[in-house]
């Protein structure tokens, strides 16, 4: 069968998976940690001898990720942090790394601590300054440029194509945390990225029942080979059931992301100019400083994430959060339940995030109910 179908069709059908033995359209969960050899001492199924290297249940999820991102190869990890850490831990002491000042706080905190112990030369750049990245990337010195776009939770937008040009001209590689944009809205490899990272716990799984991470590479490289070795040697792999749940979740990725993005846009437009807010951080709004770049590299929506800047101080922001009745007060994003959180309370006193910022993750609820909840919480 000569299939020429779109990504949404391929992913919804799990790459048209049909089990060759049973005809099942749902793949089995292979829980075995080891794999037998035949009488010639050859592996029977073609997999390596131990699940720490690979497992058949990973295969479909990784193939789906490659289809989604247009990549050469994908790897699953036990968490998004494990996936990101594998890239940095595959660098050598003394390597120069450039990263955004505002990014996922867990990775930023770990990187600051790890770099000192590992001997990495790390340097932050300001994503709100279009020229700062160019000033920080040094030809012949910089080894890795790490970006996140949109940046969590201020939703600053970084031009992937421009960042890739800067990185490659300097002899560096570009890695993009695309957790929030998802491959539904942005494919960083199409814009020149070398590695794409996802906290698969979020939108890729989408149901709040899996902890996983993923990396997708544009083409083979020494850094990628080192990452693969790192995963195998450290055992930073998900369990078989988690890998199975992840590919199950990805089948509805287009439906969930498209719906969440449309609802987030409706919320942002409805609340823009609200007297209880100083501003709304959402790249879909034309008033957003990064809207032009976002419109270029994001297609089909601008994600289900936005932040509200409350007109007041930390106490006013917390009061707003406490008044929400439909939005659930919890930390995460990308699920079917809409969540609200006060980011500064989560990140702590070293956070660069404004104390009056409240982050929203828009889920699958009716958008009118979400708007009504925010309106009453704003008073």
What amino acid positions are annotated as catalytic residues? 52, 104, 177, 202
The answer to whether the peptide bond before residue 153 is cis (omega within 30 degrees of 0) is yes
HSE of 271 in the Cβ direction (CA atoms, 13 Å)? Answer: 32
For residue 286, what is the DSSP state? T
Dist CA 221 CA 230 (whole Å): 14
- On the 0-12 / 13-18 / 19+ scale of CB atoms within 10 A, 300 is middle
Dist CA 103 CA 142 (whole Å): 19
**Chain Cα centroid distance, residue 144:** 18
Return the SS3 of 54: coil
Which structure tokens are listed for 308? 């509200």
Angle at 229 between CA 41 and CA 163, to 5 degrees: 145
CB proximity list for 220: less than 8 A, separation 6 or greater: 72, 73
Residue 43 CB neighbour total at 10 angstroms = 12
């Amino acid at each position: 069968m000569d299939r020429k179908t779109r990504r949404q069709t391929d992913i919804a059908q799990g790459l048209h998976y049909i089990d060759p033995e049973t005809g099942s359209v749902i793949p089995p969960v292979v829980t075995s940690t080891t794999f037998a050899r035949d009488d010639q001492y050859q592996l029977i199924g073609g997999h390596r001898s131990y699940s720490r290297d690979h497992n058949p249940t990973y295969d479909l999820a990784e193939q789906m990720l490659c289809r989604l991102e247009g990549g050469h190869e994908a790897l699953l990890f036990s968490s998004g942090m494990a996936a990101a850490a594998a890239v940095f831990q595959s660098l050598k002491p003394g390597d120069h790394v450039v990263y955004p000042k505002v990014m996922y706080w867990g990775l930023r905190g770990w990187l600051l601590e790890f770099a000192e112990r590992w001997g990495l030369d790390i340097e932050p750049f300001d994503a709100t300054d279009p020229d700062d990245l160019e000033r920080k990337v040094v030809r012949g010195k910089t080894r890795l440029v790490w970006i996140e776009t949109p940046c969590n939770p201020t939703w600053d937008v970084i031009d992937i194509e421009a960042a890739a040009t800067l990185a490659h001209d300097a002899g560096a590689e570009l890695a993009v945390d695309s957790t929030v944009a998802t491959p539904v809205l942005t494919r960083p490899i199409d814009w020149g990225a070398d590695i794409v990272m996802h906290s698969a716990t979020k939108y890729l799984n989408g149901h709040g029942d899996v902890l996983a991470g993923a990396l997708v590479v544009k083409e083979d490289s020494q850094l990628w080979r080192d990452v693969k070795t790192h995963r195998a040697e450290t055992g930073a792999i998900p369990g078989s059931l988690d890998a199975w749940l992840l590919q199950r979740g990805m089948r509805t990725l287009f439906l969930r992301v498209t719906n969440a993005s449309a609802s987030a846009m409706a919320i942002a437009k409805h609340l823009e100019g609200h007297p209880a807010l100083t501003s709304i951080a959402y790249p879909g709004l034309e008033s957003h400083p990064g809207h032009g770049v976002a419109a270029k590299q994001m297609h089909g929506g601008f994600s289900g994430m936005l932040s509200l800047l409350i007109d007041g101080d930390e106490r006013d922001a917390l009061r707003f959060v406490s008044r929400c009745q439909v939005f659930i007060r919890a930390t995460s994003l990308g699920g079917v339940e809409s969540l609200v959180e006060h980011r500064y309370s989560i990140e702590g006193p070293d956070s660069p995030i404004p104390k009056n910022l409240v982050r929203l993750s828009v889920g699958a609820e009716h958008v009118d109910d979400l708007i009504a909840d925010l309106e009453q919480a704003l008073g």
